[in-house]
Amino acid sequence: MMLVISLFGGSLGIDRFMLGQVGLGIGKLLTCGGCGIWSIVDWFLIMDATRQSNAQKLFAVIG
């Protein structure tokens, strides 16, 4: 799901805001995704960041 959001709203930083990374979201928003380069790199990185975020939320609920 986050990959789809990253594809369509990545240049606005929406994917980073949803992961709780506000600083990176603001950076992407102000630079339009680093002129597109940052958005392309995030397509590959967003899968791992989403996995880590989901694991942290799961541990918080279980723990």
Residue 9: which region, alpha, beta or left (left: phi > 0; alpha: psi -120 to 50)?
alpha
Q: How many residues does the chain have?
A: 63
Task: Answer whether residue 47 shows pLDDT above 90.
Answer: no
Number of domains in the chain: 1
The domain of 22 spans 2-62
61 confidence band (pLDDT: 50, 70, 90): very high
Q: What percent of the chain has pLDDT over 90?
A: 10
Q: What confidence score (pLDDT) does residue 59 get?
A: 92
Task: Answer whether residue 46 shows pLDDT above 90.
Answer: no
Pull the structure tokens for residue 33: 């995704």
Task: Answer whether residue 37 shows pLDDT above 80.
Answer: yes
Pull the structure tokens for residue 12: 């606005």
